[in-house]
Structures are given as C-alpha cells and as structure tokens.
C-alpha cells in the first residue's frame, strides 16, 4: 500500500477537494489517503465535512476520528492535541511522518508557504513538515491572488521549498481568479496534480 497525505490550507482552491481526492484515489487501488485541514481551509469545505465515529489505526495506535470528507479521515489541530495525554500516547505529527510515503499540499496558501519556508510549526500541518524526512516526496500546489503570488516574498519562499526542502512545486495557472481578477495564481487542475503525484511515486 502507498500512504498519501493530502493537506488543505486556507485558499479558495480548497473547494476542489472532491476532485483532488478522486484523482489521488484513481492512481491505483492500493492508495491509503489521510486528509489534513488547517483551520482556515475548513471555511471553504464546511459543507463537505461529515461527522463520523471512525477508528483509524496509525502505526499501531487506534485513533478516534470525528470528521471525514468523501470517506477520507480528516486530521486537524484538535486531534493533534487531544490524542496526547501521557507519555507513550501518540504525537500525531510524528506518527503521520512515519506513516506517510508522500505529502501533497494542495492548495498551498501564502500564509502556510511563509510559515514552512521560515520553519514555523504552530499547527498540525506545519509541525508535520518540520519533522518530515525530506528524502520522501513532498509536493505543493500554490494558490493565491496574483498580487500575492508576484510579491518578492513568494519567490523567495518557493525557492527555499524547492532548493532546501526538496519540494516539487506545481506552478499555478493564469485564469480568472475567485476575487474577479485575471492573472496568475490559480491552483493547477486536480487531474494534472494527480499525474504529478503518480510520477513521483513511479507508479
């Protein structure tokens, strides 16, 4: 089995979650998928989050999962903190690091990009990235307004991800953006992202 983490951050492109999951699951029938949502990403997918009482095994630990999307277990900042009470309890970002073969951050917003490039680890996703084995595949698909994407900080941050952290950056597209502007900044299409993931896994 191949274990993939799909992480959503606070970009309107999070509304493409269903298609992202569909394309990742279609790679083959041996894909295990876990979804990580930052708090801001939930704003865009709140109607797709389903309450559940699922038990998920993660490296021998049995976790109570409260939420899912399209039958994929959802991990968030709450489970990072509530799963640990005593020594030998799971530290979720570490267990996810051990479990996953690949992580895809799609969409990657400007805020999370800045955090990762500066080593900040103040939520589940950024803590996972800070602990990640950079020899394992990491992909990201930036998505933001044109003005944000063309800001000098963005180029600097993406360079750090590519050159120091070994990320594969899937560039955004030029199109009509959610804000009404036309320009670069739209996340690449889910089917193209799925093909990039497949290529990285050599499947």
Enumerate the active-site residues.
Answer: 179
Sign of the alpha-carbon dihedral angle for 173, 14, 25, 82: positive
Burial tier of 5 (Cβ tally within 10 Å: 0-12, 13-18, 19+): buried
Distance, in Å, from the CA atom of 21 to the CA atom of 100, rounded to the nearest integer, reads 16
3-state SS string over 86-140?
CCCCCCHHHHHHHHCCEEEEEEECHHHHHHHHCCCCCCHHHHHHHHCCCCCCEEE
Segment (H or E) for 161: helix 152-163
Expressed in angstroms, the distance from the first to the final Cα of the chain is 12
């Amino acid at each position: 089995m191949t274990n993939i983490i799909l992480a959503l951050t606070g970009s309107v492109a999070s509304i493409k979650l269903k298609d992202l999951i569909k394309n990742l699951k279609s790679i083959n029938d041996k894909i295990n998928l876990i979804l990580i949502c930052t708090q801001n990403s939930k704003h865009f997918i709140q109607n797709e989050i389903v309450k559940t009482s699922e038990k998920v095994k993660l490296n021998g630990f049995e976790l109570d999962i409260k939420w899912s999307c399209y039958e994929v277990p959802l991990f968030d900042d709450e489970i990072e903190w509530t799963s640990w009470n005593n020594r030998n309890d799971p530290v979720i970002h570490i267990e996810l690091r051990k479990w996953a073969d690949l992580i895809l951050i799609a969409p990657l917003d400007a805020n999370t990009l800045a955090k990762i490039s500066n080593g900040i680890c103040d939520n589940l996703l950024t803590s996972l990235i800070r602990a990640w084995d950079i020899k394992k595949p990491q992909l990201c698909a930036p998505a933001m307004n044109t003005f944000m994407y063309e800001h000098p900080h963005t180029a600097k941050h993406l360079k750090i991800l590519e050159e120091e952290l070994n990320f594969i950056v899937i560039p955004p597209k030029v199109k009509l953006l959610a804000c009404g502007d036309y320009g670069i900044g739209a996340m690449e299409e889910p089917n193209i992202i799925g093909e990039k993931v497949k290529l990285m896994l050599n499947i």
